[in-house]
Amino acid sequence: MTGWRPLLPAAAAGTTLTALGLLSLTVPAARTLPGNASGPHLAPPSARYPFGTTDTGLSVLDLVVFGAHRTLIIAALSTALALGVGTATGVLAGHFQGWPDRVLSRFTQWVLVLPQLPLAITIAAVLGPGLAQLSLAIALAYWPATARVVRAAVVATESLPHLERARALGAGHWRQIRVHTWPAVLPVVITCTTLTLGNALLSEATLSFFGLGDTTSVTWGGMLQDASGIGAITAGAWWYLLAPGLAITLVVMVCSIAGRSTEAALGRHQAHGLLLRRPRWRRSAAGEPAGPEPV
């Protein structure tokens, strides 16, 4: 077994994400949007405003903290939707095989090939603005990755002896999935969650930039769009861009570290793990014949 050490980055990233989630839920309760613009307009960073102010005299840092709430809610909602659709498709395709698998897999493969952003943009544009519509548009563009990975994991467990035994003993499909397939697929779903969460955050930002965001509240992507809308770049007001962009980058980074290290720790890609590398040579170089390898 891999031991606890490889799980360290995953645990650290998971803790950060959870803390962030809790923070974003409590922040709006603790403070309201600093609506009364008290500061100077579009001022560079200073001791009082560490990330500068907006054109309306609000602290950029305050806005970023406040915007975390809505941003993370959209990301969480679209991730939940994408994972629900993806996992359901993957489990159905992998478990029932035969024609349902062929149909579902081809469909998944097709959506996977389509360029995500134009797809999400068009769906979001047709659905119209709003939190739910935005989340749905993101989810519809990002579910296939989960479906494919989950299907592969299910197919791998389907041929295991204990599942064949369960089948032979007459376990129903639901029981087979719940008792035998699900535990094996869960780690894969966790990895997908973190990676989809990162993608969802980036999509929210990009769709906001295209004017398709949720305009009823402050989000990080929406802040960037506002900044570009008032010409912050040509005005040289780089600070208006800095904090929201950094916030997105940091959270996405935490997500991808969490995803990659869980993946590595679970040994799915041993040598492909990014932050944790398990020396593969140890087995073969110690004089044992190399184990079965993919041809």
Partner 1 sequence: MTLLELDGLSVAYPAGQRWARAVRGVSLSVAAGEVVGLAGESGCGKTSVAMSVLRLLPRTAKVTGRIRFGGTDLTGATWGELRAVRWAQAAVVFQGAQHALNPMHRIGTQIAEPALRHGLVTRSAAAAHAADLLQRVGLAPELARDHPHQLSGGQRQRALLATALSCSPRLLIADEPTSALDSVSQAAILGLLRELAAERGIGVLLVSHDLGALAAVCDRIAVMYAGRIVEQGSAEAVLGDPAHPYTEALTGAATVIGDPATRYAPRSLGGAPPDPLSTAPGCAFAPRCPHAGPDCGGEIPLRPAGPGRLVECVRVAS
Partner 2 sequence: MRAARVAGTLLARLTGVLFLGFALFHLLPGDPVSALTRGRPVTTEDLATIRAGFGLDLPLWKQFTSYVTALAHGDLGTSLAAHRPVADMLAERIGPTLLLTVSATVLSVTVGIATGVAAGWRPRGIGDRVGTGAAIVLWSAPTFWLGMLLMAILGVAAGLFPIAGMRSTESGGGGVLDVAHHLVLPCITLAAVQYAQYHLLIRSAVAAERHAVYVTLARAKGLPDALVRWRHAVPNAMAPTLSLVLTNLGFVVSGAVTVEAVFSWPGLGDLTFEALRGPDPPVLHGTFLLLCGSVVTADAIADVVLRRFDRRGGTT
Contacts with partner 1 by CB under 8 A lie at 279, 281-282, 284-290, 293, 295
Partner that binds at residue 277, options partner 1, partner 2, none, CB closer than 5 to 8 Å by kind: partner 2
**Stretch in the footprint of partner 2 (CB under 8 A) among 24-32, 53-61, 97-105, 230-238:** 230-238
> Mask: binding to partner 2, 90-129, rule CB under 8 A, as x and -?
----------------x---x-xxxxxxxx-xxx-xxxxx
DSSP letters spanning 239-259 = HHHHHHHHHHHHHHHHHHHHH
Of the pair 3, 128, the CB lying nearest partner 2 is at 128
Q: How far is CA 219 from CA 33, 59, 68, 78, 128, in A?
A: 12, 14, 7, 15, 17
85 binds partner 2 per the rule CB under 8 A: no
- The DSSP element (H or E) to which 42 belongs, if any, is none
> Quick one: angle between helices 182-209 and 8-30, nearest 10?
50
Candidates 125, 151, 146; CA nearest to 136 is 125
276 binds partner 2 per the rule CB under 8 A: no
Backbone angles phi, psi at 205, to 5 degrees: -60, -45
Of the pair 87, 105, the CB lying nearest partner 2 is at 105
- The DSSP element (H or E) to which 176 belongs, if any, is none
257 binds partner 2 per the rule CB under 8 A: yes
Alpha-helical segments (H) within 159-181? 161-168, 173-175
Stretch 126-155 residues interacting with partner 2 (CB under 8 A): 126-129
**First CA to last CA distance, the chain:** 25
> Mask: binding to partner 2, 43-82, rule CB under 8 A, as x and -?
----------------------------------------
**Stretch in the footprint of partner 2 (CB under 8 A) among 87-95, 96-104, 179-187, 280-288:** 280-288
269 binds partner 2 per the rule CB under 8 A: yes
Tokens (6 digits) for 25: 């839920």
Using CA atoms in the order 279, 283, 287, 289, what is the torsion angle rounded to 10 degrees? -140
Task: Give the interface with partner 2 as residue ranges (CB under 8 A).
Answer: 106, 110, 112-119, 121-123, 125-129, 198, 202, 205-206, 209-212, 221, 224, 227-228, 232-234, 236, 238, 241-242, 244-245, 248-250, 252-253, 255-257, 269, 271-274, 277, 280-281, 284, 290, 295
